[in-house]
Amino acid sequence: MTSPAHANDRPTALVIHGGAGVIERDALDAGEDRAIRADLDRALDAGHAVLARGGSALDAAEAAVRALEESPRFNAGKGAVFNAEGRHELDASVMEGHTRRAGAVAGVTTVRNPVRLARAVMEHSPHVMLIGDGAEAFADTRPELDRVDNRWFDTDHRREQLEQAQAREAAARHSGAADPADLKGTYFGTVGAVALDAHGHIAAATSTGGMTNKRWGRVGDSPVIGAGTWADDRCGVSGTGWGEFFIRAAVAHDICARVAYRGDSLQAAADEVLMNVVPGLGGDGGAIALDADGNIAMPFNTSGMYRGWVKPDGSRGTAIFREE
Ligand code: ASP
């Protein structure tokens, strides 16, 4: 399928993800597969419409992430995972490449679209990152933000995931067999977008509910600028995976630093970080990356990553598994 990807004759491009993780073909029935791809397509439509009318990369990335937050199928906004107390604590961030402005929130509980709050932090506060009650109090000053009861984010399948995680944890405590620190496969469905606009500007955005059964105010990479999200004037990244390792590897910044300092191609830089550095530390996950020429990279070391793209030539697609 093609659509015009040029405005003012400069290439535009958009890449999105709906999370990396254990996504097996056999476990995903045809209806669910179709529904996920339709949601990815809707997010591409939302983001690309902005780019096609000459809008900013920031608006496009936010629009795509918002569309994914509204879908109950991804772990962001509606459909976010439950923490150990059976509630939702949401994290999000945005970064605008050419200005290096950034905004982030962590542990928010009543903001329907955390990516909008992250952007508001960037544009309407002197700060980059706000957390918990303070982020909620800042949200109170922004009447344009929709607020919801925390239970609005609930979905049955996330509650089942919490129950399974807590049952596994209890079994591990009794038998001592499983390693409770092994969180592989317990994350799923974080969303993100990176856009290149007709002015040659790049922006990235990421939003998540974090990890199922998290406690102690745990915050992963998604709202950490340089770890889950990064954009500069040549390169932008949004990550998804076992966040502790993405923080330790400064994944998003490392990819763009390799492009800037070493002259690596975007693909080589993204592959090296996701296929070697992160697994070398013991972590897993994936990332989407985009450069100023509209090149796109989408490496992941898990069995799947929900993803979609619109390239500068207008070609677009969605994919879930490795071999597609
Ligand atoms: N990276 C996210 C986190 O650790 C989870 C995910 O990507 O699904 O919070």
> What's the rounded mean pLDDT across residues 126-146?
98
Question: Among 111-125, 164-178, 202-216, which is the least confidently predicted range?
Answer: 164-178
Q: Taking Cα atoms as reference points, which of 44, 50, 48, 54 lies closest to residue 9?
A: 54
pLDDT at 201 over 80: yes
Q: How far is the CA of 40 from the centre of ligand 1 (A)?
A: 18
Q: What is the CATH number of domain 10-82+151-321?
A: 3.60.20.30
Of 12, 186, 190, 229, the catalytic one is 190
Reported as half-sphere exposure (CB side, CA atoms, 13 A), residue 213 has a value of: 18
Q: Exposed e or buried b for every residue in 89-106, given b needs 16+ CB within 10 A? A: bbbbbbbbbbeebbbbbb
User: For the segment 3-52, what is each residue's pLDDT rounded down to a tens digit?
Assistant: 444 445 689 999 999 999 877 777 788 899 999 999 999 999 999 999 99
Question: For this structure, is 190 an active site residue?
Answer: yes
Instruction: Give the residue from 57, 52, 59, 58 showing the smallest Cα distance to 7.
Output: 52
Q: State the burial class of residue 118 (Cβ atoms within 10 Å of its Cβ: 0-12, 13-18, 19+).
A: buried
Both tokens of residue 256?
């763009």
DSSP string over 135-174:
HHHHHHT-TTS-B--GGGG--HHHHHHHHHHHHHHHHHHH
Res 236: pLDDT: 98
Give the integer Cα–Cα distance in Å for 210 and 221.
Answer: 9
For the CA of 190, the closest atom of ligand 1 is 8
CA of 153 to the centre of ligand 1 (A): 17
Residue 319 tokens read as 């994919």
Check if the beta carbon of residue 128 is closer than 8 Å to that of residue 225.
yes
Pocket flag, ligand 1, residue 223 (CB < 6 Å)? no
The answer to whether the CB of 77 is under 6 A from ligand 1 is no
**Pocket lining: 18 vs ligand 1, CB cutoff 6 Å:** no
Q: To the nearest whole percent, how much of the chain has pLDDT over 90?
A: 85
The rounded distance, in Å, linking the Cα atoms of 121 and 103 is 5
Check: CB of residue 225 under 8 Å from CB of residue 95: yes
Of 23-32, 85-94, 149-158, 297-306, least confident by mean pLDDT is 23-32
- Ligand 1 pocket, mutate which of 91, 206, 211 (most atoms under 8 A from CB): 211
Q: Could you give the residue ranges of the DSSP H alpha helices within 53-144?
A: 57-70, 114-124, 132-140
Distance 125 CA to ligand 1 centre (A): 26
Locate the ligand 1 atom nearest the alpha carbon of residue 187 and give its number: 8
Domain ranges of the chain: 10-82+151-321
Report whether pLDDT(182) > 70. no
